[in-house]
Structure 1
């Protein structure tokens, strides 16, 4: 079985407060984009094998392995699975590649082994792997709450072209959060974003906000330089995705994007990816759809 696991970007990320369980309460607008990891799933008699060159971790620490292990345990399927991943999404870059791989493995195994679990059941299972994982079952832009794992509202975005710049570095999410000064409550702002996204259509560049930018820029000042370079290239707005290190520029359309790409300064080792958002309803909609990349 061949799957494509899409990356995501966060257009809006507000840290509402600290939860009793130690996690942070978030409100975030997450958008699946046309940048994919390629995954091949095959049944095996026993065991789990994962081959994922370039993932930056060993087999058992790979979220795809953990997802397969959890799926077999919770469903009681007595078989194994072979997983091959061709990485296109940079690891540790705030684009959700590992979480997307894990979610795609769970969705794919549900189909491969004909276990018939509902999307709700699969999302609950995926939430045990990582906070981002449930989002990838939705297949469209969504406002997420909780740890980033609770769907609140579907978001309708005006069409835009995106340009993602990823420096050759990984930023520890834990380190970024440790540098964050988190207020006790933000109830009024929280309700404002919930009410606004329920309306029909929002311009992405008008909602760009990320509470993790300031601490991340303090840890890696070069991210602020990337932000300035995207603005100088004509982006309507710029935001860091998640806890970094990818920085996203928003352009009006493909023509505007091409103009910006010709103007931006290039750096050795950086990745530059022009893309758009996805609107498919399930992982199956991602199959056979490409992405153009440059860098």
Structure 2
């Protein structure tokens, strides 16, 4: 029996500007997104029907799960009469701003196109599943604009990071609602300056428009950001809608040493070293 194994990378936003809100309720964004060396794992086996098993997290295994919806969308659009059995090995924390569910969904679309070849364009399917899903089809760093659907691939140096999630689940819907309540939309990211700082491993002039309102409601996220600063890591920031925070390190060794210290400081947190992938 064919078994297809796939890795679904996490992402961080190296800056997230929310420039406004449209009449339909969608927000306009300007964000530099990068895939990481940490993520979830999935296995796919052709089967008579569609089914999903999740290991490592208490998640639904029906249409409430984005992986299931992605598989259903592809099978229907491609006219596949059979199904697939999917096992999702969940490694990333839930509702944490690192795109785990979106990555799992995009990985599912790509895997099913391998198992059941068709000439389908995956981008419309990905867009229908969520704003971050199309990014994970790109396979490298990308500048996201519009409502996140306009993606421009970017070449970046490899970046070493430390990620810490305090265990707080923050829904993207809440984070954007809290921003709307303040009305504090932000200008586009200073992309040229950000890229120069990344190349030179200097403090990076990025920002996350969602961070102030989320940290105001979840002070434990602010404590993590301060700890990253105290360990002399570069430019701590919350990723996406939170609650995962990250900072840059000058080397893999520096990142791993910081992780050992942070795990002692935050023993109940998810803490790991990672690097960007392309």
TM-score, normalised via structure 2 length: 0.90
1:183-223, Cα deviation, whole Å (9 max, x unpaired): 57x6xx43x64666788975574143100100110111010
Supply the distance in 2 between the matched residues of 1:197 and 1:262 (Cα, whole angstroms): 28
Aligned ranges for residues 85-124 of structure 1 at < 5 Å?
85-117=88-120, 121-124=121-124
Supply the distance in 1 between the matched residues of 2:71 and 2:133 (Cα, whole angstroms): 13
Once the two structures are TM-superposed, the CA of residue 7 in structure 1 deviates from its matched residue by 0.5
SS in 2 for 1:115: coil
Check conservation: 2:13, 2:239, Cα contact below 8 A.
yes
| Corresponding position of 1:178 | 177
Aligned ranges for residues 117-136 of structure 1 at < 5 Å?
117=120, 121-136=121-136
Stretches of structure 2 that go unaligned for 5 or more consecutive residues are none
Supply the distance in 1 between the matched residues of 2:200 and 2:90 (Cα, whole angstroms): 31
Check conservation: 1:16, 1:25, Cα contact below 8 A.
yes
| Corresponding position of 1:27 | 30
Supply the distance in 1 between the matched residues of 2:38 and 2:200 (Cα, whole angstroms): 21
Aligned ranges for residues 1-295 of structure 1 at < 5 Å?
1-45=4-48, 47-60=49-62, 61-117=64-120, 121-151=121-151, 153-180=152-179, 181-183=182-184, 189-190=187-188, 193=190, 202=199, 205-264=203-262, 265-279=264-278
Check conservation: 2:214, 2:242, Cα contact below 8 A.
yes
Once the two structures are TM-superposed, the CA of residue 155 in structure 1 deviates from its matched residue by 2.5
Check conservation: 2:160, 2:249, Cα contact below 8 A.
yes
Query: How many residues matched?
Result: 270
Root-mean-square deviation (CA, aligned residues, Å) is 2.1
Check conservation: 1:56, 1:91, Cα contact below 8 A.
no
Supply the distance in 1 between the matched residues of 2:220 and 2:190 (Cα, whole angstroms): 30
Supply the distance in 2 between the matched residues of 1:201 and 1:235 (Cα, whole angstroms): 13
Cα pair distance change 1:93/1:201, threshold 3 Å: closer
1:81-104, Cα deviation, whole Å (9 max, x unpaired): 111011111111111111111001
Once the two structures are TM-superposed, the CA of residue 123 in structure 1 deviates from its matched residue by 1.6
Greater CA deviation, 167-176 or 4-13? 167-176
Check conservation: 1:155, 1:201, Cα contact below 8 A.
no
Cα pair distance change 1:6/1:106, threshold 3 Å: same
Supply the distance in 1 between the matched residues of 2:12 and 2:200 (Cα, whole angstroms): 15
Cα pair distance change 1:197/1:123, threshold 3 Å: farther
Check conservation: 1:5, 1:104, Cα contact below 8 A.
yes
Cα pair distance change 1:156/1:50, threshold 3 Å: same
